[in-house]
Structure 1
Amino acid sequence: MLRGRDLLSLMEFKPDEVIMLLEMSKSLKARYHAGEIIVPIHAGKTAILIFEKPSTRTRVSTSVAAYQLGMNVIVTSAQELQLGRGETVADTARTLSRYVHVIAARVYSHSSLEELAQYADVPVINLLSDKFHPLQALADALTLWEKKGKLSGLKVAFVGDVGNNVAASLAVIGSKLGWEVRLIGPRQLWRNDISKLSDDADKTGASIYQSDSLEDVKGVDAVYTDVWVSMGFEKEAEERVRLLRPYQVDGRVMSLAGPQALFMHCLPAHRGQEVTDDVIDGPRSVVWDQAENRLHTAKAALAALTP
């Protein structure tokens, strides 16, 4: 069982545990669409959601997910807590553990989550950090499972800022599920932590590699991109846009990938930068399915981890 476990990156979960979360997500989604909106698995329990960064999909989907599990939901920012006046993360974690059953947080620094998890007596769930975005990766995997009819053996190309948190989590979940993940972007942004995924990749048959050639989108099941200037990198915006301009996902890139390739984006999108309108609004785009699946995977994570 997963009850009581933290979810910080998905690296801490075994492949069969990731599959368990996805199967639960699929089941809860089916129940939702059958009209079973409230599944009171955790009736009367309380979840606190802490947001250091602005959010649309994560904030709303996780709030709704907790509510639909029968939970009381507290949504707050660091500024509304004593964190904003200098209380330590450790003291905040100890205090909140006396009040709530699960803590979920969207933070600037992944180290803040690690400290929360170290000192909290209840599970801590990563709603996004500078290093990982695990709930997004679960939603991505659920979407591909629905569209391609399988969980393993998929080929996915992430094009653009291959050093960001979404690319990292895509590589992590790909290593758990036996995918071929192609991280395609400028060498200046290549990752130096790919080797950490080798143990899972050896077990599942996954392949995670980096390239600076758009030719490597050929034959993939999906082309994925994200914004070029993530929150916290605004000072580097001009340089990042210059560096990443050749990696815009447009009709040419999708044609190169092939007619079987879906288009994916975690949103929000900066239309005209990382993706063109004809692609994101086109018939192969599954971005709204990804967005919906944030609800069902958040619900599964809360259901499975909350004690």
Structure 2
Amino acid sequence: MEYRLAHKDFITLADFSRDDLLAILREAERIRRAEASLTTVDILHMYDEARALVAAGKRYESVLNRRAVALLFSLPSTRTRAAVEWAIVRSGGHPLYFTRATTQVSRGESIEDTVKSLEPYSAALVLRTDSHEVLTRAAAAVKIPVINALSDLEHPVEVLAEFLTLSRVIANRPNSPGNDSAAEISLDFESEISFDCFTKVKCAYIGDGNNNIAKSFAYGAAKLGIDFTIAAPNDYQCPVELREQLSKTTVKFTDDPQKAILNAHAIFSDTYISMGQEAEREKREKAFQSYQVNEALVKNADPNYAYFHCLPAYRGKEVTAAIIDGNHSHVFAIAESRLLVYRALFSLLTQNLT
């Protein structure tokens, strides 16, 4: 177990080393392999055994040990909420879900008072917010770990989930970087994976370079040593200070999607109209016309390329239906990885919390 990560906040990938991020991914993989052969009936038996131990006055050991994890979500969520809540339950805890409207924050209470009030009940806090400042203020106010489930600046868990899925795709695909297998293997989540593939794979992100997931991709790829190119219009590229910070890493920036996607083993994209940007729709649609991931663009990628999108996706906008619904797409496989990364974070960050 990686005790150096205990009690740390998970707000930005910039705060973590390559070894730290690999430790999280390896813990996610350890959890997956430990439960790979379990059926739904097996899992239900585990819950029955846990309840029996508690009823008998005996201690049942689990990651969260029946502690709560508070979720403060001020933005809509489908996939993240489902992954976080199920990860908490599978880790032996109980989710406490709040929206802005269901807390006193909606009436002017400070985020500091809110999280301090929840701290005695919680092993960790998971925040989804349109203000990164709220995350940092919450983290400064409490001693338990604070996890970023999306902010206006970053989306770090999603990026680790997509990189975990990428490693799974490579492990299951012959003739991929880091995989010398000659046999055809389906994406069945059974093969053991190695994260050595990260230094052998070429990736491209096509779309808004100034949104939260692009910034997290940049930090994550730089830390993990992934050859990663972000293609975006000049007016929508990652901030200059971030580009300068990563200028000596494996991350590159361009306004040419054809150049970015050349021989790419993996292609990532996202909507270019994020939450809160609906008023800019017409302007953005015009700016991103040549940044659609479509059949013509992917002809320049590796023939066995894999496509990823964090969803929600808008077919006919940032990606065509033929790509996102085609054989190269792995967008729904990310759901399993998202669950595993959250479970890994609870396992590593909440160690030795009383």
Same fold (TM over 0.5): yes
- Answer yes or no: is 1:8 the counterpart of 2:11: yes
Distance 1:170 1:266 in 2: 12
Query: Which TM-score applies when normalising by structure 2?
Result: 0.82
More displaced stretch, 38-47 vs 283-292: 38-47
The CA deviation at 1:75 is: 1.0
8 Å contact 1:144–1:151 — kept in the other structure? no
Q: For 1:51-83, what per-residue CA distance to the aligned partner results, in whole angstroms no more than 9, with x for missing partners? A: 111111100001000100000111110211111
Q: For 1:115-167, what per-residue CA distance to the aligned partner results, in whole angstroms no more than 9, with x for missing partners? A: 00011121100000011111101101111111224233322110011111111
- Alignment partner of 1:214 out of 257, 261, 265: 257
The CA deviation at 1:291 is: 2.3
Q: Which residue of 1 aligns with 2:343?
A: 299
Distance 1:237 1:166 in 2: 19
Q: Secondary structure at the match of 1:175?
A: helix
The CA deviation at 1:30 is: 2.0
- Answer yes or no: is 1:42 the counterpart of 2:91: no
8 Å contact 1:8–1:126 — kept in the other structure? yes
Using a 3 Å threshold, how does the CA distance of structure 1 residues 197 and 46 change in structure 2: closer, same or farther?
farther
Q: Which residue of 2 aligns with 1:166?
A: 213
Q: Which residue of 2 aligns with 1:194?
A: 243
- Answer yes or no: is 1:17 the counterpart of 2:20: yes
Q: Secondary structure at the match of 1:6?
A: coil
More displaced stretch, 160-169 vs 38-47: 38-47
- Answer yes or no: is 1:282 the counterpart of 2:331: no
- Answer yes or no: is 1:96 the counterpart of 2:145: no
Unaligned runs of 5+ in 2: 47-60, 172-196
Q: Give the AA of the match of 1:266.
A: C
Distance 1:76 1:177 in 2: 34
Q: For 1:21-69, what per-residue CA distance to the aligned partner results, in whole angstroms no more than 9, with x for missing partners? A: 0001111122333216469322211101111111111000010001000
Q: Which residue of 2 aligns with 1:145?
A: 167
Distance 2:342 2:243 in 1: 26
- Alignment partner of 1:68 out of 86, 90, 96: 90
- Alignment partner of 2:285 out of 231, 236, 241: 241
The CA deviation at 1:232 is: 1.3
RMSD of the TM alignment (CA)? 1.5
Q: Which residue of 2 aligns with 1:28?
A: 31
The CA deviation at 1:170 is: 0.9
Q: Give the AA of the match of 1:259.
A: P
- Alignment partner of 2:271 out of 203, 223, 227: 227
Q: Which residue of 2 aligns with 1:257?
A: 301
Q: Which residue of 2 aligns with 1:119?
A: 141
Q: Secondary structure at the match of 2:106?
A: helix
8 Å contact 1:94–1:121 — kept in the other structure? no
- Alignment partner of 2:230 out of 161, 183, 186: 183
Report the count of equivalent residues: 301
8 Å contact 2:64–2:123 — kept in the other structure? no
8 Å contact 1:40–1:68 — kept in the other structure? no
Distance 2:151 2:302 in 1: 33
The percentage of aligned residue pairs carrying the same residue is 32
Q: Give the AA of the match of 1:196.
A: Q
Unaligned runs of 5+ in 1: none
Query: Which TM-score applies when normalising by structure 1?
Result: 0.94
The CA deviation at 1:110 is: 0.6
More displaced stretch, 59-68 vs 294-303: 294-303
8 Å contact 2:127–2:148 — kept in the other structure? yes
- Alignment partner of 1:272 out of 309, 312, 316: 316
Distance 1:224 1:274 in 2: 11
Q: Give the AA of the match of 1:190.
A: Q
More displaced stretch, 256-265 vs 279-288: 256-265
Q: Which has the larger radius of gyration?
A: 2
Q: Give the AA of the match of 2:219.
A: V
Distance 2:23 2:67 in 1: 23
Q: Give the AA of the match of 1:157.
A: A
Distance 1:176 1:118 in 2: 25
